[in-house]
Amino acid sequence: MTTPHTIAVLGLGRMGRAIATRLASRGWDVVGWTRSGRTPDAVRTTSDPHDAVAKADLVLLALFDGPACRQVLDDVRDSPRAGAVVVNTGTVSPAEASEPARRLGPAYVHAPVLGSVPAAAGALRILAAAEQDTLDRVRPVLEAPGTVRHVGDASTGAALKLVANSGLAGAVLALRDSLRHADALGLPRAEVMDVLELGRLGGFVTCRGSFLADGSAAGTAEFTIGAPAKDMALPAAASSVPLRSAVGPAGSPADAEADIAVAATTPAAKDGVLEPLRAYIRGHATGDAAHFREAFLPGAHIEGIRDGVFVSWPLDEYCALFRGRPAPDEPTRSRRVDALDVHGTVATATMTLAHGADTFTDVFLLVRADGRWRIANKAYHRHP
């Protein structure tokens, strides 16, 4: 049985770049492709995914979500050489994992990963769903970025990854709440971390200890906010168990996503910087303009292109658009914080809002004055 020699890595974000770099360093012939056009120096790249796939014995997908995986696989479906294997490391729903498994049969390996950018150090845990012969063939490749666990079929592998992510999110939020209480009690962070390490959160605290020990960022974040928010939505779509909590007066489904964002960026982004974004989310969820007045500075403007014309609404004019009640389709709407950067007393944030048939990207400028963060300005883009 021949081990793949040439590997095409489609998707060179944080995870894909780390995996590709690890494989190249271990002697495989790696060619990468990314939709963004941003390419790492350590890996040979091509601007044409068909070219990458046509030369590969193994095609490894490291893409953001199920729709991206489906689109890329559809685009290159006629390009793989005979006998090539497709390995999908993405976090997708069980249904999204089963579809390519049915289409590609033994040539498909669903291999979601537990862990993050430590792929570059071989520290991932990989849940590999494949026929045994296929898994034996690709195992040397998968063992370069981590350890492999055979989990049966693609649907099971995808479901196990979602369950693992759900547990991780719970641990993140539990740690966040513990640190909040400790800070309120005036306890030194280092001592708190030592004690937490003795308890049920010990393993999680150990791996995040250097980042959290003194209340300031001690390294580079290993994932973006959009990824855990996206992942947390998948189990709810795949089962009848609601995974989003109702937080705050609005009970907004997206408040849970904001909580994940807070915990994921602690302590690089102190909790207070997200309070105006939470209030903004509550305003949309309830239609109550009072939440927007809480979120924005009085002189703030909301700006963007509307019907082909640039608009710049003062806060009062923006608030007048809301009637004090939720939109009829509010239960189907979602909002997530995608990115947050804090620079002393100013910060920028990006949020995605899925409102029925419309999707918006909101970009915020926030300032901290009088001990409180507020939104100074918002610009938005309505996706066609």
At which of 129, 159, 189 does a domain end? 159
Asked if residue 314 has a cis previous peptide bond (ω within 30° of 0), the answer is no
Identify the band that residue 122 occupies on the pLDDT scale cut at 50, 70 and 90: confident
Of 127 and 220, which is predicted with more confidence? 127
Of 39-43, 69-73, 328-332, least confident by mean pLDDT is 39-43
pLDDT, tens digit, 9 for 90 and up, residues 156-204:
999 999 888 877 777 777 887 888 888 888 888 888 888 988 887 787 7
Shared-domain flag, residues 297 and 155: no
Q: What is the pLDDT of residue 231?
A: 53
The total of structural domains in the chain comes to: 2
Residue 287 belongs to domain with CATH number: 3.10.450.50
Shared-domain flag, residues 282 and 152: no
Residue found by looking up tokens 């056009």 in the block: 37
Examine residue 260 and state whether it is found in any structural domain, yes or no: no
DSSP state, 324? Answer: S
At which of 115, 141, 159 does a domain end? 159
Residue found by looking up tokens 């904001």 in the block: 258
Residue 128 belongs to domain with CATH number: 3.40.50.720
Range among 206-220, 247-261, 328-342, 344-358 with highest mean pLDDT value: 344-358
Examine residue 252 and state whether it is found in any structural domain, yes or no: no
Burial class (CB in 10 A: 0-12, 13-18, 19+), 370: exposed
At which of 135, 159, 183 does a domain end? 159
Which among 319, 301, 285, 269 has a CA at the least distance from the CA of 375?
301
Examine residue 320 and state whether it is found in any structural domain, yes or no: yes
Of 10-14, 154-158, 238-242, 298-302, least confident by mean pLDDT is 238-242
Examine residue 296 and state whether it is found in any structural domain, yes or no: yes
Supply the angle between the helices 189-196 and 154-184 in degrees, to the nearest 10.
Answer: 140
Q: How many helices (H) and strands (E) does the chain have?
A: 13, 15
CA distance 324 to 338: 27
Q: What is the DSSP string of 63-85?
A: -SSHHHHHHHHHHTTT-PPTT-E
* Mean model confidence pLDDT for the chain: 82
pLDDT, tens digit, 9 for 90 and up, residues 56-101:
999 999 998 888 899 999 999 999 999 999 999 998 888 899 999 9
Examine residue 311 and state whether it is found in any structural domain, yes or no: yes
367 — alpha (psi -120 to 50), left (phi > 0) or beta? beta
Shared-domain flag, residues 133 and 276: no
Examine residue 382 and state whether it is found in any structural domain, yes or no: yes
Shared-domain flag, residues 22 and 152: yes
Establish how many alpha carbons lie within 13 A of residue 135's alpha carbon, considering only the half-sphere containing its beta carbon. Answer: 17
Residue 150 lies in domain: 6-159
DSSP state, 242? Answer: -
**Total number of residues shown for the chain:** 384
Which among 253, 304, 233 has a CA at the least distance from the CA of 66?
233
Examine residue 125 and state whether it is found in any structural domain, yes or no: yes
Examine residue 67 and state whether it is found in any structural domain, yes or no: yes
